[in-house]
Structure 1
């Protein structure tokens, strides 16, 4: 069984549920978890898991669940994964903490794309599932919300250090999400009467003293102004020390950060910048696109007019050309697994290499000595070889690699010098991209 890959190359907003509930360890585990899986199977509308993962993957059945929990048991804990083989993708983990620890059931469910929860009826069923779980397994706090918006809101730290967060948890209403379950302690801190009078789409007191609060009928349009107004009203009501207009302004600012931005990248850089934007975390992507829209790549400086070219100063030109070819092969050896197109020595392979080096943060994650002595010569030679093969260029060898030139049209280009500038920093990989130099050289070849 091949499950859908949740964490593929392009991050995407999704609905994330986090719930930590207590259970009775005196009851047989299968009996205690029966209500959990009954609710999942009844209310998982269109996103029901069909794969259980323990030490190996199995088709979703109750027998598979009990087997996976048994084989993954490690002293006082056990865990399983729940996945799907068809769209939409889910990534779900169920952990059980067992005596002598306090018995606890922790579930995280991620379903993507978030747009799957546009329909009110599907969202209602999701709420009913959480209601059933929170009623059966009392929680201190649970929430379901857009993962991107939660990132912008600062979940789960809210500006606190790790030690404080672990100690205090969700000890006050830091944020109101699309779906919230407030445990008895939080309810009493706010005041039960105030909590139950919150202006929201649904507010319900559960039999165990928890309160379920849903701000809006659907999860996917959390960033609409109507949903933000509802979210702000609920938050300001539960936290009378907060100013409603300030809360609403903050929410609207977050919506603006997530609003789609049309890419208008420099044409030379569009293939590379599109891939960089896709690799960026989804909650930061629109800001990155706007940044790239405003950014203009610097004009390449690694060139001279053809009539100012330095003459060859090597003893054996053919041997020098063989050396450049060998250096270029070093780059092929370095990248061929991650960047198969490097075998082609094509303009497209330059863009693939640009993206690889950027993704890997190569200039900052490798030893500087290794970069200067091995990577820079290999990159420079490879760039020069592409100029020769695809633009009709001609090497003009020099003893000093940084002076080595490739004649294309009325300019000579300095690929080794470009490579040194390129490997200066992660930003340099964009400012001095191989793709950009090639495209400018292409326009000047005649």
Structure 2
């Protein structure tokens, strides 16, 4: 698979068409296309809105969509009408030796989403399917072009390192829409902090802080093969964790018991440890885990409380990201 821009050169497109012509002549096929993968997804190729059983039973029994390059097998050609198909308004319409027809809409595949290309696509489609309405077909094609129009990422700076990783996790046809959604996303201002520390209420603070280290090491041991940067305890490690938990849909994939009793406490300890190591913070342990604090500058931060809120849902991973929490603490360090 090549990016569509690969086909911006018309000579390259011509060579590709020649290769397809040879292939289509040697190996008869009922139906084949070459087109933008993203646009094919939006067209629901090859189902075209049908369920699997219908697709299996009927195959491609009509021209549901028309793409940049199309090979129609003899059965489909006869169904539409050979003369009608050969008279399609297109850049190239050619009958192959085995009775198939090769149809290429335009000289180049790269500008498939342009106004001119969409008009040509709609006109040719309606020619093959007189039962379709030209304006309706064209409007659908233009909507697809709008959905694929490039959107420049303008993510909130506090979560940008995390958000930049998300679009590639969606199908190629959804990515621009997702970028637009993420551009509009504004994380909640962190509330897991206090202007003054609650005094430690434990008998042996050093031992409790050691237990936080044990919790943190447990998280590293469990996830270091999937998130190797955990060993480094950096801001980037937190972003890697954000992405890992989001990609795995961790809060909704695993049991609430596992998360509340094991993952969230270990994550809170790790988050607090990063504040200590990278921002010069100091633990202020408390009997109640969610009240345990890390003093950084003039504020004290509540990493265990943040971790619990963070692990409530997949959306919470965005709303309460570790990346943003660290950035906010870093901003108030001095």
TM-score normalised by the chain length of structure 1? 0.72
- Give 1:319's aligned residue: 207
Any residues of structure 2 matched to 1:24-423 within 5 Å, and which?
Answer: 111-306=1-196, 309-423=197-311
SS of structure 1 residue aligned to 2:173: helix
SS of structure 2 residue aligned to 1:421: helix
Superposed displacement of residue 135, structure 1: 2.0
- List per-residue Cα deviations over 1:271-329 (Å, max 9, x = no partner): 111111233332211111111111101111222221xx332121210110000111111
In structure 2, what is the Cα distance between the partners aligned to 1:241 and 1:412? 69
- List per-residue Cα deviations over 1:175-208 (Å, max 9, x = no partner): 0011111122222222222111111110112222
Q: Higher relative CO (CA 8 A, sep ≥ 6), structure 1 or 2?
A: 2
In structure 2, what is the Cα distance between the partners aligned to 1:329 and 1:413? 20
In structure 1, what is the Cα distance between the partners aligned to 2:167 and 2:84? 44
- List per-residue Cα deviations over 1:250-287 (Å, max 9, x = no partner): 11111111111111110111111111123333221111
In structure 2, what is the Cα distance between the partners aligned to 1:341 and 1:136? 52
In structure 1, what is the Cα distance between the partners aligned to 2:141 and 2:3? 21
Superposed displacement of residue 385, structure 1: 0.8
- Give 1:438's aligned residue: 326
SS of structure 1 residue aligned to 2:218: helix
In structure 2, what is the Cα distance between the partners aligned to 1:157 and 1:192? 24
RMSD of aligned residue pairs (Cα, Å): 1.4
Superposed displacement of residue 445, structure 1: 2.2
In structure 2, what is the Cα distance between the partners aligned to 1:403 and 1:232? 63
Superposed displacement of residue 138, structure 1: 2.1
CA contact (8 A) 2:290 2:303 kept: yes
Deviates more, 1:279-288 or 1:247-256: 279-288
Which is helix-richer, 1 or 2?
A: 2
SS of structure 2 residue aligned to 1:112: coil
Superposed displacement of residue 341, structure 1: 1.5
In structure 2, what is the Cα distance between the partners aligned to 1:410 and 1:377? 25
Structure 1 stretches of 5 or more lacking a match?
A: 1-110
SS of structure 1 residue aligned to 2:49: coil
Superposed displacement of residue 163, structure 1: 0.9
Structure 2 stretches of 5 or more lacking a match?
A: none
In structure 1, what is the Cα distance between the partners aligned to 2:64 and 2:223? 46
Superposed displacement of residue 379, structure 1: 0.6
- List per-residue Cα deviations over 1:138-163 (Å, max 9, x = no partner): 22111111111101110111111111
In structure 2, what is the Cα distance between the partners aligned to 1:346 and 1:412? 19
In structure 2, what is the Cα distance between the partners aligned to 1:166 and 1:424? 41
In structure 1, what is the Cα distance between the partners aligned to 2:131 and 2:316? 47
